[in-house]
Amino acid sequence: MARGSNRGRVVEVLRRHGPLPRVELARSTGLSFPAISGLTSRLIAEELLCETETAAPPWSDDTDEADADGLSGRRRGRPAVLLTLNPEFGRIIAVSVRMNLIETLIADFEGSGLAQSRLAVPTRALDAGALCDLVIAQINAMLDATATPPDQLLGIGIALQGIVNADTGRNLWSPALSVTDVDLAQPVRRAFSAEVVMANDAVAVALALATAEPGLAQGLSATIMVGHGVGMGVVLDGEARWGAGAGSEIGHVKLGSNGPQCRCQRGCIEAYLADYALYRDARTFLDLPPADSQQPSEAQMALLRERALGGDPHLEYLFQQAGRALAEAVAATISVLRPHHVVLAGPGLQASHCLIKNVTGELTVRSGAAIPNRIGVADGRTDQRGCAARDHGGGGRPLSISRAGR
Amino acid sequence: MARGSNRGRVVEVLRRHGPLPRVELARSTGLSFPAISGLTSRLIAEELLCETETAAPPWSDDTDEADADGLSGRRRGRPAVLLTLNPEFGRIIAVSVRMNLIETLIADFEGSGLAQSRLAVPTRALDAGALCDLVIAQINAMLDATATPPDQLLGIGIALQGIVNADTGRNLWSPALSVTDVDLAQPVRRAFSAEVVMANDAVAVALALATAEPGLAQGLSATIMVGHGVGMGVVLDGEARWGAGAGSEIGHVKLGSNGPQCRCQRGCIEAYLADYALYRDARTFLDLPPADSQQPSEAQMALLRERALGGDPHLEYLFQQAGRALAEAVAATISVLRPHHVVLAGPGLQASHCLIKNVTGELTVRSGAAIPNRIGVADGRTDQRGCAARDHGGGGRPLSISRAGR
DNA sequence: CTTATTTATTTACGTCGCGAAGAAATGTCG
DNA sequence: CGACATTTCTTCGCGACGTAAATAAATAAG
């Protein structure tokens, strides 16, 4: 059916799952057996792939199969030959630009991280040129630290909060920046003559999750990112072919007519749920220092969550409101999108203990004649091994995969 | 790129645009020239297509081209050979099941309607079997009326309000029916041994519009249907590959905490915008007869619109509220989906004079950092020539294509 | 009237993928 | 220990499609 860039899909599956035999590649990609055979032989000739020695059958984590066979391995039949990505083939850099933070990571072709850096910087104080320079400097630092010659650099992925035009690579608007319509991709491309991909951070996380969790790569899955803002990445059959290429601004769906203030107006979901909103509201009754450039630090937010768990009634109420808002976001997503999966992710979900019970509670009321949807809470840091533009480095610990709706 | 069922795409383009030369087919489908050449020669051999005589160049409605050439036609160069669908190849039936109404239409292979019927029937009083029998009887009546032998019937399309599982063809829930989980497709398929496709009505309309308006077939377009309920059909690159195959239940996105009552709870968009909600609210201050089975007739709704235009202040306020709700629906759609196009359609838009000014007014406030979206109001009756499952027959006159958002 | 130009369509050839059948490597059973 | 069974992988033939070049059929220009 779907022809074209199947080489890329093979590489992607291999990067996600580690060494796999051809049979399993065929199953994962949905390609036919001869197609895999041909593709892999060409990829081996080009030194992207290596054949490793034969291996025991249970590659996949199907526990039922493993139990049936016992744990000794070695079924009968011709043993499988494992295929591995050649780590020496080249290197990949991922940059994540967020509020007051630029994270950079360099990985080999197999996806193992070789080095990474976190640069705290007041992003909203930067102009476009300074931002580019900083990013380029960070990338150069990664290259130096790992002694990577320039021609070894295969690609650079940049994840950015806000509205990103995937076609042009321009960031039209970002809460982390005071400037708009920034073209980060072009200067970086020129500086390193490597392929540069820019994406909305939520889209990047959604893609990373879809790559990490095969179930999410089938059908339509929506990943709601809660943190400095509230964004959403949507992935259809493992790809991010989407409206304007930007992540959804689900945070700016309106809840009530007279709600609290967000960045655009009154009553958006973000105004209840985003870090800055929670911190701002908390300051009305707690003695807290003002946030740096309108944005509370991670430590400040951690303190808030701690106190809420500790039983502060005002804070509990705040997080309860936030949970309601999150439920509305999920309900709106289900109503408009009818996705097969909804994933909640991002640093804001570190407070998920406080949020989730409200989400599920509200949802059963909201979802109406909903079809079954699987709602999961995911670690934002998933798949740091992932390829370009797929790292985001947010917090939020993995919790559970629960079911809600009907 | 996209391989596979390109024969179908050729036929579809031809049905939409009428006779076209191969060059134009190649451009419309995005296929290469030799591919079209091969496909069409096979289709001609199978008698689906005919070659018509050569024709003057301006097939497409590009006014600029026409002006440049003058209107005489006959450019220089080899004249194009027009390809036409062979009307004799077979016949297609479209059924639309709506609240208290079953519409049936039979068309030849070219898409010209040969006969149609409207059956007013209290759909909510029917059980599954009776509904099937009625639909089958209507189809038989169409076959009889046009003297169509059974083997001439190529396919049957059924559009149904509510949640339709496209894979199984089951209607899980519909406001027009009191029964749930109805399998209409299977009995009809058995009765006629023809291909039967079921779809959500909004999805069917969205597909029909995308087929009629090439711009809508590129990227992501959302068609919001306002009428007995509020639904949405989403089309990506001309196809309805979507979440659960069902249309979105955009009508059940919540607006406020304490809004009026809809079918599921309080405060949904539908509770302000759907026919039944408007009529119910109008009865609180106007002396109107009760609606049949919770559903006002078209005549009753027409009366309401007339009085609102006539200047009844209470009704004006009602429609103003409805316009606000529609604006919220559009805003939520833009926020969550980020579509390239938003189309408003359906019988409810016959009151668009009252609604639209509020929609655009509210939108400029709502859409925040929105990207440019084209918002159009479309005739629901578009493309009655369209193929199976694409007819819906709602009202709403074509108005304009305006721009909103930023 | 011949030649150039423009446009529509076909032919030739290469690539990619699928299905079927065969080959290789290992187990199991008599 | 040999005849199967089973699983993995490869080879072969076919169909669908893309690119590039050739051919066909008309008009415009000289």
Residue corresponding to tokens 């027959």: B393
Radius of gyration of chain B (CA): 22
Positive or negative, the CA dihedral A87, A90, A91, A92 is negative
Residue corresponding to tokens 């007041």: A122
Q: Give residue-wise pLDDT tens across range A294-327.
A: 678 778 888 888 888 787 888 888 888 888 888 8
Work out the angle at residue A359's Cα, subtended by the Cα atoms of residues A358 and A361, and round it to the nearest 5 degrees.
Answer: 60
* Residue B286 or residue A130, greater confidence: A130
Q: Give residue-wise pLDDT tens across range B6-25.
A: 888 898 888 878 899 999 99
Instruction: Using alpha carbons, select from B304, B289, B294 the residue that is nearest to residue B176.
Output: B294
Lowest-confidence pick of B32-36, B93-97, B202-206, B369-373: B369-373
- Spatial CB neighbours of B176, under 8 Å, sequence gap ≥ 6: B97, B98, B99, B100, B123, B124, B160, B161, B162, B228
Helix (H) / strand (E) containing B341:
strand B341-345
Three-state DSSP class for B223? strand
Nearest to A252 among B236, B335, B371 (CB): B335
Three-state DSSP class for A259? coil
Q: Give residue-wise pLDDT tens across range B94-120.
A: 998 888 889 999 999 888 889 989 998
With 70 as the cut, is the pLDDT of residue B166 above it?
no
Cite the beta strand spans of B184-263 per DSSP E: 195-200, 220-226, 230-236
* Residue A382 or residue A305, greater confidence: A305
Mean pLDDT, chain B, rounded, equals: 75
Write out the two tokens for B343: 């189309």
Q: In chain D, which nucleotides are within 7 Å of a protein Cβ?
A: 5-13, 16-21, 24-28
Judge: B244–A366 Cβ closer than 8 Å, yes or no.
Answer: no
Which stretches of chain A sit within 8 Å of chain B by CB?
1-4, 163, 172-173, 219-220, 232, 236-237, 241-244, 246, 248-250, 252-257, 264-265, 268, 328, 331-333, 335-340, 365-366, 368-371
Tell me the C-alpha distance between A94 and B9, whole Å: 40
A-chain residues near B236 (CB < 8 A):
236, 241
Give the nucleotide with minimal C1' distance to the Cα of A51.
D9
With 50 as the cut, is the pLDDT of residue A334 above it?
yes
- How far away is chain A from the Cα of B273, in angstroms, using its nearest Cα? 16
B-chain residues near A272 (CB < 8 A):
none
Helix (H) / strand (E) containing A64:
helix A63-69
Whether B248 contacts B231, CB under 8 Å: yes
- Paired with B157 in beta bridges are B94, B197
Nearest protein residue to the C1' atom of D27, measured from CA: B76
Write out the two tokens for B115: 């006969």
Residue A34 exposed, middle or buried by CB count within 10 Å (0-12, 13-18, 19+): exposed
What's the pTM? 0.74
- How far away is chain B from the Cα of A212, in angstroms, using its nearest Cα? 20
Positive or negative, the CA dihedral A339, A341, A346, A351 is positive
Confidence label for A406 from pLDDT (cuts 50, 70 and 90)? very low
Q: Give residue-wise pLDDT tens across range A47-95.
A: 899 998 776 665 555 444 444 444 445 778 888 899 999 999 999 999 9
Tell me the average pLDDT across B332-357.
75
Instruction: Using alpha carbons, select from A40, A72, A36, A33 the residue that is nearest to residue A56.
Output: A72
Positive or negative, the CA dihedral A312, A317, A319, A320 is positive
- How far away is chain B from the Cα of A229, in angstroms, using its nearest Cα? 14
Residue corresponding to tokens 């850096």: A117
What is the residue-wise DSSP string for B79-140?
A: PEEEEEE-GGG-EEEEEEEETTEEEEEEEETT--EEEEEEEE--GGG--HHHHHHHHHHHHH
CB atoms within 10 A of CB A190: 10
DSSP type of residue A384? T
Helix (H) / strand (E) containing A80:
strand A80-85
User: In sequence order, which ranges of B260-338 are alpha helices (DSSP H)?
Assistant: 270-273, 275-283, 298-310, 313-337
Nearest protein residue to the C1' atom of C12, measured from CA: B34
pLDDT of residue A166: 65
Q: How far apart are the first and last CA of chain A?
A: 33
Tell me the C-alpha distance between A165 and A294, whole Å: 26
Tell me the C-alpha distance between A18 and B187, whole Å: 48
Whether A291 contacts A300, CB under 8 Å: yes
Length of chain B: 406
**φ and ψ of B50, to 5 deg:** -125, 150
- Paired with A119 in beta bridges are A102
Length of chain A: 406
User: In sequence order, which ranges of A80-232 are alpha helices (DSSP H)?
Assistant: 128-145, 185-192, 201-212
Helix (H) / strand (E) containing A287:
none
Q: Which of residues 52-71 of B touch strand D (CB under 7 A)?
A: 54
